[in-house]
Amino acid sequence: MAQLKPTRVLLVGFDGEAVYSKGIIQLPLTVGKGSRTSRVMLDILVADVPSAYNMILGRSSLNALRAIPSTYHMMMKFPTDSGVGKVQGDLRSTRECYIPSIDIAKEKEAVSQGEASSP
């Protein structure tokens, strides 16, 4: 972790919980398959939080890839030297990750409601 540069950035999760980043690291990201790949260097904010996601691409990352995401199609397309590349999501994997994250959120809510009602 010698490459991690300490940086405090306030991050707000999907559940409204706020945490500070541990730092920032510059890493290469390669997306696509075969000759239809794209590679960019990204500044990645690192946070120590439980998540169903490995990484969340923000607008700056999508712009760097010149990507067009479609949540409806679970797909992202981007230009390459060999044509249009794509990354396709997998519904089964998505459900396997998403359902446990809902359970974790419900447990956190129950704990915080219990704390709020304590004298």
Nearest by Cα to 86 from 95, 98, 73, 96: 73
In the chain, domain spans: 27-42+54-117
Residue 43 has pLDDT above 80, yes or no: yes
Q: What is the pLDDT of residues 65-115, one digit of tens each?
A: 999 999 899 999 999 999 999 999 888 877 777 776 666 666 666 666 665
Residue 32 has pLDDT above 60, yes or no: yes
The C-alpha atoms of residue 4 and residue 45 are separated, in whole angstroms, by 9
- The pTM of this model reads 0.68
Residue 26 has pLDDT above 70, yes or no: yes
